[in-house]
A and B are shown apart, each in its own frame.
Chain A
Amino acid sequence: VRFVVKILTKKMKNLLSHLSNLKNILLTYLDGFILIISPLMILLFIVGVIALMDRTGNHQSFLRKMDQGLVTTATVSSLLHSDDSDELNIAVNFIDLLQQERFGLIKTMYYPTEIVNSIKPGDIVNIRYLEPGYESQVILNDYYANVRNYFGFAYDVIVVMVVAWGFIIIHPEFLFWGFSEEKGVKSKAGIRQ
């Protein structure tokens, strides 16, 4: 029995030692991988900031136009499911200021699900629309505050930026490139430190 225990203990020690080596090898490769992609992550983060500013600017511009928009009642004509996403749009018909019949599209991403689910074809809704010449997008006037506070346009960009930021923190060496005056400062960055 003692002999078997001794053999088993030795085998277990060998196995643990191999596993430890394997972990070190994996970490070294992972570390190298993060180092190689960190410049790409820096670029991704910068592009993310620019995209975020662009989307915020577009949303603010849309709101500024809607502030000058007109309010009327519209009839829901149909619910349109987008083919390439889960997005649901609501098509409405209304008579504009020039007494012409127009088609409008309500994007439902701004509103809570229960409000969207309560709208059926044939319903009469209060909408805010832009003068002819602008896009056909209209909004539900009773829930204008939801549109105003909407931040959903930023979620996907922020997720990408946070992931990129995590990689950059592990290996920030490229951020200091070109500006370092002290030569020979050896980086200790990396996931194994």
Chain B
Amino acid sequence: MTLNAFVLFMLGALLEIVWLWDDAHGQVGEWIQIRFLPGAFRLAQWIQGGLVVAAGLLAGIFSVFQVSKTQVSMDNPLIGMIFVAMGLFIFGAGVVADGLLPRINEQSILIVQLLVILNGVLSGALSNVWGLFFVLIFPAALALYLVWNRRPLSPLLKALIYLWYLASLLVLTFQNGSAEFFTAARLSLSDAYFSGIAFIFILLHGLFSIRFFLIVSSLILPRNRLLVAGMMPRLFADDQVPVRRFVLFGLGVLGLILLNVWLNLLPRTIMLNLAVIACVQFFFKPRP
């Protein structure tokens, strides 16, 4: 990607880290006012503003010195080091410690299942038996169960469903070719920005899925099941699905994605990733 595209990729990635961090810490913090600037904002909001300004300045400087079109890739040692540092930070703050992972509810899982099915239909993954089972039958069955069941789920069932949710995110990532997309040589500035956001979200959930797979597999021994009861409330809220509102919203999201396919505004990979992130982090955020 070009140097300016890389700046926007990093802007998207750093903003996503700030959003996740802020969200995981309950969006609390002192309101800070700076003289000559209107209104008071929290530290996270100041950081977001600072990042946008810094990215704008950097892109401007690169354009003035006519290096904005220079190609950069992971093979460059500095770029490689930035990615390694980012990966280590995500691993430490999001996988080892509880600093980034967004809490989800049934609606988040439902919308991801719907997107997996839609992407399966669009990409032709339903042509074989395994694809049909993992991309259509199982997600549809899970969605129906979550809508039909009105009682809070047991911690063990929550753990299994949460593992399936992580697996669905990975399926979606491989299905829509996100990995190839992030490393593409020609990314537009907007694609680079949205890719940065999606990259952090996918990296965080991908790494956490390894830890969570180990957690769920350790539940083979009944004595370990006591431990998971204390963990699931942090990851999976008990909010029930408001069926009518969800159906309307789900149809809206699906309609938007189909409209995008028809009008070809954004690449499908970006659109699907954005739909997942917007639904999980913003629209279907569990009640505190």
Contacts and interface: CB of A to CB of B under 8 A. Distances in A.
A168 interface: yes
Interface string A149-193: 000000000000000010011001101101111100101110001
A46 interface: yes
Interface string B78-97: 00000000000000000011
B231 A168 contact: no
A165 B231 contact: no
Contacts of B211: 42, 46, 175
Nearest to A186: B226
B214 A187 contact: no
B207 to A, nearest CB: 8
Nearest to A183: B230
B210 interface: yes
A141 B108 CA distance: 48
Contact of B230 (A42, A165, A185, A193): A185
Interface string B260-271: 000000000000
A37 interface: no
B234 A172 contact: no
Given A45-B210, A179-B234, A193-B223, A185 B229 contact: yes
Interface in A44-64: 45-46, 49
Interface residues of B, number: 23
Nearest to B220: A169
A173 B231 contact: no
B224 A189 contact: yes
Given A178-B97, A179-B235, A165 B214 contact: yes
Contacts of A45: 210, 214
A173 B230 CA distance: 12
Nearest to A188: B223
Contacts of A189: 221, 223-224, 227
A-B complex: 9 closest residue pairs judged by Cβ atoms: A182-B230, A172-B218, A180-B230, A178-B98, A188-B223, A179-B231, A185-B230, A176-B227, A169-B218
8 contacts: A46-B210, A169-B218, A172-B218, A175-B218, A179-B98, A182-B229, A185-B230, A189-B227
Given A178-B97, A180-B234, 19 more contacts: A45-B214, A46-B207, A49-B210, A165-B214, A168-B214, A169-B220, A172-B218, A172-B224, A175-B214, A176-B215, A176-B227, A179-B98, A179-B231, A181-B233, A182-B230, A185-B227, A187-B226, A189-B221, A193-B223
